Amino acid sequence: MIRILAICDIVGLLGCRTVHENLEKIKNKYNIDFVIANGENSAVGNGITQKSAEYLFSAGVDVLTGGNHTFKWQKFIDYLDKSQKIIRPANYPEGTPGNGFLEFNIKNSKIYVINMSGVVYLEALSCPIACLDKILEKTKNIKIKIIDFHAEATAEKRAMGFYFDGKISAIFGTHTHVQTSDEEILPNGTAYITDIGMCGAVYSVLGVKPEIAIKRMKNKIPLRFEHDNFGPSKIECVYFDIDEITGKALDIKRLRFIFD
Protein backbone atom coordinates (compact mmCIF):
# COMPACT_ATOMS: atom_id res chain seq x y z
CA MET A 1 0.00 0.00 0.00
CA ILE A 2 1.20 3.51 -0.85
CA ARG A 3 -0.07 6.50 1.10
CA ILE A 4 -0.17 9.78 -0.83
CA LEU A 5 -0.89 13.14 0.78
CA ALA A 6 -2.49 15.91 -1.32
CA ILE A 7 -2.31 19.45 0.04
CA CYS A 8 -4.16 22.43 -1.36
CA ASP A 9 -4.04 25.45 -2.32
CA ILE A 10 -1.08 26.94 -0.45
CA VAL A 11 -1.80 30.67 -0.27
CA GLY A 12 0.90 33.30 0.23
CA LEU A 13 3.51 33.64 2.91
CA LEU A 14 1.35 32.39 5.76
CA GLY A 15 0.28 29.28 3.83
CA CYS A 16 3.90 28.52 2.85
CA ARG A 17 5.22 29.13 6.37
CA THR A 18 2.52 26.95 7.93
CA VAL A 19 3.32 24.08 5.56
CA HIS A 20 7.05 24.57 6.14
CA GLU A 21 6.67 24.38 9.91
CA ASN A 22 4.28 21.43 10.04
CA LEU A 23 4.54 19.15 7.03
CA GLU A 24 7.31 16.94 8.42
CA LYS A 25 5.24 16.28 11.59
CA ILE A 26 2.14 15.42 9.53
CA LYS A 27 4.17 13.10 7.29
CA ASN A 28 5.57 11.24 10.28
CA LYS A 29 2.27 11.03 12.15
CA TYR A 30 0.36 9.58 9.17
CA ASN A 31 3.19 7.57 7.55
CA ILE A 32 3.00 9.47 4.29
CA ASP A 33 5.03 8.12 1.34
CA PHE A 34 4.62 10.96 -1.14
CA VAL A 35 3.36 14.56 -1.07
CA ILE A 36 1.53 16.45 -3.83
CA ALA A 37 0.71 20.12 -3.21
CA ASN A 38 -1.02 22.75 -5.27
CA GLY A 39 1.35 25.71 -5.38
CA GLU A 40 -0.23 28.12 -7.85
CA ASN A 41 -1.05 30.67 -5.12
CA SER A 42 2.15 30.28 -3.11
CA ALA A 43 3.94 33.46 -4.22
CA VAL A 44 3.46 36.85 -2.64
CA GLY A 45 0.86 38.50 -4.89
CA ASN A 46 -0.42 35.14 -6.18
CA GLY A 47 0.99 32.79 -8.79
CA ILE A 48 4.09 30.72 -8.16
CA THR A 49 7.79 31.66 -8.29
CA GLN A 50 11.06 29.73 -8.12
CA LYS A 51 11.47 31.01 -4.56
CA SER A 52 8.06 29.83 -3.33
CA ALA A 53 8.43 26.49 -5.15
CA GLU A 54 11.86 25.78 -3.66
CA TYR A 55 10.65 26.78 -0.20
CA LEU A 56 7.85 24.20 -0.48
CA PHE A 57 10.20 21.49 -1.76
CA SER A 58 12.45 22.14 1.24
CA ALA A 59 9.37 21.63 3.45
CA GLY A 60 8.97 18.08 2.10
CA VAL A 61 6.67 18.50 -0.91
CA ASP A 62 7.54 16.05 -3.73
CA VAL A 63 5.56 17.56 -6.59
CA LEU A 64 3.77 20.89 -7.09
CA THR A 65 0.69 21.20 -9.26
CA GLY A 66 -0.70 24.33 -10.88
CA GLY A 67 -3.80 25.94 -12.29
CA ASN A 68 -5.01 29.24 -13.70
CA HIS A 69 -2.26 31.29 -11.94
CA THR A 70 0.71 29.14 -12.99
CA PHE A 71 1.85 31.52 -15.71
CA LYS A 72 1.43 34.75 -13.73
CA TRP A 73 5.19 35.47 -13.42
CA GLN A 74 7.12 35.61 -16.70
CA LYS A 75 10.43 34.80 -14.98
CA PHE A 76 9.03 31.54 -13.60
CA ILE A 77 8.18 30.05 -17.01
CA ASP A 78 11.75 29.03 -17.84
CA TYR A 79 12.18 27.37 -14.46
CA LEU A 80 8.84 25.55 -14.88
CA ASP A 81 9.85 24.35 -18.33
CA LYS A 82 12.96 22.64 -16.96
CA SER A 83 11.43 21.35 -13.74
CA GLN A 84 10.84 17.66 -13.14
CA LYS A 85 8.89 18.44 -9.96
CA ILE A 86 6.29 20.99 -11.08
CA ILE A 87 3.37 20.40 -13.41
CA ARG A 88 0.80 22.72 -14.99
CA PRO A 89 -2.61 21.75 -16.43
CA ALA A 90 -2.16 19.23 -19.23
CA ASN A 91 -4.99 20.67 -21.32
CA TYR A 92 -3.06 23.84 -22.27
CA PRO A 93 -2.37 24.10 -26.02
CA GLU A 94 0.40 21.95 -27.45
CA GLY A 95 3.80 23.61 -27.13
CA THR A 96 2.99 25.35 -23.82
CA PRO A 97 6.08 25.38 -21.56
CA GLY A 98 6.21 22.80 -18.78
CA ASN A 99 4.71 19.34 -18.29
CA GLY A 100 1.09 18.41 -17.72
CA PHE A 101 2.09 15.18 -16.00
CA LEU A 102 5.20 13.57 -14.58
CA GLU A 103 6.27 10.10 -13.51
CA PHE A 104 7.64 9.38 -10.03
CA ASN A 105 8.96 6.35 -8.21
CA ILE A 106 7.62 5.49 -4.77
CA LYS A 107 8.56 2.30 -2.92
CA ASN A 108 9.51 0.63 -6.22
CA SER A 109 6.22 1.57 -7.85
CA LYS A 110 5.79 4.04 -10.68
CA ILE A 111 3.12 6.66 -10.34
CA TYR A 112 1.82 9.36 -12.62
CA VAL A 113 0.75 12.72 -11.23
CA ILE A 114 -1.43 14.60 -13.71
CA ASN A 115 -2.72 18.18 -13.52
CA MET A 116 -5.87 19.15 -15.40
CA SER A 117 -7.89 22.36 -15.51
CA GLY A 118 -11.66 22.65 -15.57
CA VAL A 119 -13.20 24.73 -18.36
CA VAL A 120 -16.37 25.95 -16.63
CA TYR A 121 -15.88 29.57 -15.38
CA LEU A 122 -12.16 29.24 -16.18
CA GLU A 123 -9.89 29.70 -19.21
CA ALA A 124 -11.31 27.85 -22.26
CA LEU A 125 -8.60 25.19 -22.47
CA SER A 126 -9.19 21.92 -24.30
CA CYS A 127 -11.71 19.41 -22.97
CA PRO A 128 -10.30 17.83 -19.78
CA ILE A 129 -12.07 14.52 -20.47
CA ALA A 130 -10.63 14.17 -23.99
CA CYS A 131 -7.18 15.27 -22.79
CA LEU A 132 -7.07 12.82 -19.88
CA ASP A 133 -8.43 10.00 -22.09
CA LYS A 134 -5.46 10.57 -24.42
CA ILE A 135 -2.93 10.56 -21.56
CA LEU A 136 -4.39 7.34 -20.12
CA GLU A 137 -4.20 5.69 -23.53
CA LYS A 138 -0.45 6.38 -23.62
CA THR A 139 0.27 5.35 -20.02
CA LYS A 140 -1.52 2.00 -19.75
CA ASN A 141 1.56 0.33 -18.25
CA ILE A 142 1.44 2.48 -15.12
CA LYS A 143 -1.15 1.47 -12.54
CA ILE A 144 -1.11 4.40 -10.13
CA LYS A 145 -2.44 7.68 -11.49
CA ILE A 146 -3.36 10.67 -9.35
CA ILE A 147 -5.14 13.70 -10.81
CA ASP A 148 -5.30 17.26 -9.46
CA PHE A 149 -8.41 18.64 -11.18
CA HIS A 150 -8.12 22.40 -10.77
CA ALA A 151 -11.68 23.55 -11.40
CA GLU A 152 -14.40 25.88 -10.22
CA ALA A 153 -17.69 24.07 -10.85
CA THR A 154 -18.61 21.24 -8.51
CA ALA A 155 -20.70 19.45 -11.15
CA GLU A 156 -17.78 19.47 -13.60
CA LYS A 157 -15.57 17.94 -10.91
CA ARG A 158 -18.02 15.21 -9.94
CA ALA A 159 -18.75 14.34 -13.58
CA MET A 160 -15.01 14.02 -14.18
CA GLY A 161 -14.73 11.71 -11.15
CA PHE A 162 -17.46 9.38 -12.38
CA TYR A 163 -16.20 9.34 -15.98
CA PHE A 164 -12.73 8.22 -14.86
CA ASP A 165 -13.88 5.96 -12.02
CA GLY A 166 -11.91 2.72 -12.26
CA LYS A 167 -9.43 4.19 -14.79
CA ILE A 168 -7.39 6.23 -12.30
CA SER A 169 -6.40 5.77 -8.65
CA ALA A 170 -7.55 9.12 -7.28
CA ILE A 171 -8.86 12.49 -8.38
CA PHE A 172 -8.97 15.49 -6.08
CA GLY A 173 -10.30 18.98 -6.75
CA THR A 174 -8.43 22.21 -6.12
CA HIS A 175 -8.99 25.94 -6.85
CA THR A 176 -12.07 26.92 -4.79
CA HIS A 177 -10.07 27.06 -1.51
CA VAL A 178 -13.08 25.61 0.31
CA GLN A 179 -12.83 22.03 1.55
CA THR A 180 -15.79 19.79 0.70
CA SER A 181 -16.91 16.82 2.79
CA ASP A 182 -17.75 14.44 -0.08
CA GLU A 183 -14.59 12.33 0.01
CA GLU A 184 -15.42 8.80 -1.09
CA ILE A 185 -14.30 5.76 -3.00
CA LEU A 186 -16.40 5.65 -6.17
CA PRO A 187 -18.00 2.31 -7.22
CA ASN A 188 -15.09 1.20 -9.43
CA GLY A 189 -12.30 2.01 -6.98
CA THR A 190 -11.25 5.62 -7.64
CA ALA A 191 -10.82 7.91 -4.62
CA TYR A 192 -12.64 11.21 -5.09
CA ILE A 193 -13.14 14.60 -3.36
CA THR A 194 -14.56 17.76 -4.97
CA ASP A 195 -12.10 20.15 -3.28
CA ILE A 196 -9.42 19.60 -0.69
CA GLY A 197 -9.40 23.21 0.56
CA MET A 198 -6.69 25.75 1.41
CA CYS A 199 -3.55 26.37 3.45
CA GLY A 200 -3.31 29.87 4.82
CA ALA A 201 -5.21 32.39 6.93
CA VAL A 202 -8.27 31.03 8.73
CA TYR A 203 -9.99 34.44 8.97
CA SER A 204 -9.75 35.32 5.29
CA VAL A 205 -11.70 35.26 2.05
CA LEU A 206 -9.95 32.37 0.28
CA GLY A 207 -6.64 33.64 1.73
CA VAL A 208 -7.25 37.32 0.95
CA LYS A 209 -7.74 39.96 3.70
CA PRO A 210 -11.54 40.17 4.25
CA GLU A 211 -11.63 44.00 4.24
CA ILE A 212 -10.11 44.07 0.73
CA ALA A 213 -12.48 41.43 -0.62
CA ILE A 214 -15.47 43.28 0.90
CA LYS A 215 -14.36 46.68 -0.46
CA ARG A 216 -13.99 45.23 -3.94
CA MET A 217 -17.42 43.62 -3.71
CA LYS A 218 -19.12 46.82 -2.46
CA ASN A 219 -17.40 49.41 -4.66
CA LYS A 220 -17.05 47.34 -7.86
CA ILE A 221 -13.65 48.94 -8.43
CA PRO A 222 -10.69 46.59 -9.04
CA LEU A 223 -8.40 46.43 -6.04
CA ARG A 224 -5.15 44.55 -5.58
CA PHE A 225 -5.78 41.47 -3.46
CA GLU A 226 -3.43 41.08 -0.52
CA HIS A 227 -3.04 37.84 1.34
CA ASP A 228 -3.63 37.83 5.06
CA ASN A 229 -0.28 36.87 6.59
CA PHE A 230 -1.14 36.92 10.28
CA GLY A 231 -3.42 35.22 12.78
CA PRO A 232 -4.46 31.58 12.92
CA SER A 233 -3.63 29.49 9.88
CA LYS A 234 -4.67 26.10 8.59
CA ILE A 235 -3.57 23.18 6.49
CA GLU A 236 -6.29 21.29 4.64
CA CYS A 237 -5.45 18.08 2.82
CA VAL A 238 -6.40 14.46 2.16
CA TYR A 239 -4.47 11.26 1.97
CA PHE A 240 -5.17 8.31 -0.30
CA ASP A 241 -4.16 4.72 0.30
CA ILE A 242 -3.49 3.04 -3.03
CA ASP A 243 -2.96 -0.65 -3.75
CA GLU A 244 0.20 -0.75 -5.87
CA ILE A 245 -0.80 -4.00 -7.62
CA THR A 246 -4.25 -2.96 -8.84
CA GLY A 247 -3.83 0.84 -8.72
CA LYS A 248 -7.21 1.07 -6.94
CA ALA A 249 -7.85 3.25 -3.92
CA LEU A 250 -8.26 1.49 -0.58
CA ASP A 251 -9.06 4.57 1.51
CA ILE A 252 -9.38 8.35 1.43
CA LYS A 253 -9.12 10.47 4.56
CA ARG A 254 -9.81 14.21 4.78
CA LEU A 255 -7.76 16.28 7.25
CA ARG A 256 -7.76 19.86 8.63
CA PHE A 257 -5.19 21.28 11.03
CA ILE A 258 -5.55 24.69 12.69
CA PHE A 259 -2.52 26.53 14.13
CA ASP A 260 -2.72 29.61 16.40
* Cβ closest to Fe ion, residue 17 vs residue 69: 69
Question: Taking the complex as a whole, how short is the minimal distance between the CB of residue 125 and Fe ion, in angstroms?
Answer: 13
Angle at 181 (CA atoms; ends 194, 248), nearest 5 degrees: 60
Q: Residues 174 to 233: which contact Fe ion by CB under 5 A?
A: 175
State which residue has the least CB distance to Fe ion.
67
Whichever of 157 and 175 has its CB closer to Fe ion, that residue is: 175
Residue 15 is a binding residue for Fe ion (CB under 5 A): no
Q: Alpha-carbon distance 175 to 117, whole Å?
A: 9
* CB 39 to Fe ion: min, Å: 11
Residue closer to Fe ion, measured from CB, 68 or 169: 68
CB of 86 to Fe ion, least distance (A): 15
Question: What is the DSSP code string of the chain?
Answer: -EEEEEEE-B-HHHHHHHHHHHHHHHHHHHT-SEEEEE-TT-STTSS--HHHHHHHHHHT--EEE--TTTTS-HHHHHHHHH-SSBB--TTSPTT-SSBSEEEEEETTEEEEEEEEE--SSS---S-HHHHHHHHHHHTTT--EEEEEEE-S-HHHHHHHHHHTBTTBSEEEEESS----S--EE-TTS-EEES----BEESSSBTTB-HHHHHHHHHH-------B--SS-EEEEEEEEEE-TTT--EEEEEEEEEEE-
Candidates 29-37, 86-94, 173-181, 222-230; binding stretch for Fe ion (CB under 5 A) = 173-181
Q: Indicate which single residue of 42, 49, 65, 68 sits in contact with Fe ion (rule: CB under 5 A).
A: 68
The verdict on 67 binding Fe ion (CB under 5 A) reads yes
Give the number of other Cβ atoms within 10 Å of residue 54's Cβ. Answer: 12
Between 39 and 60, name the residue whose CB sits nearer to Fe ion: 39
Number of residues that bind Fe ion (CB under 5 A): 3
- Stretch of 19-27, 63-71, 178-186, 251-259 lying at the interface with Fe ion (CB under 5 A): 63-71
Task: Note if 177 is an active site residue.
Answer: no
In the complex with Fe ion, the residue whose CB is nearer, 67 or 173, is 67
Q: Among residues 69, 175, 177, 227, which one is catalytic?
A: 69
Tell which positions 110-139 bind Fe ion, by CB under 5 A.
none
Using rule CB under 5 A, residue 17 touches Fe ion = no
Q: Tell me which residues are annotated as active site.
A: 69
Interface with Fe ion (CB under 5 A) = 67-68, 175
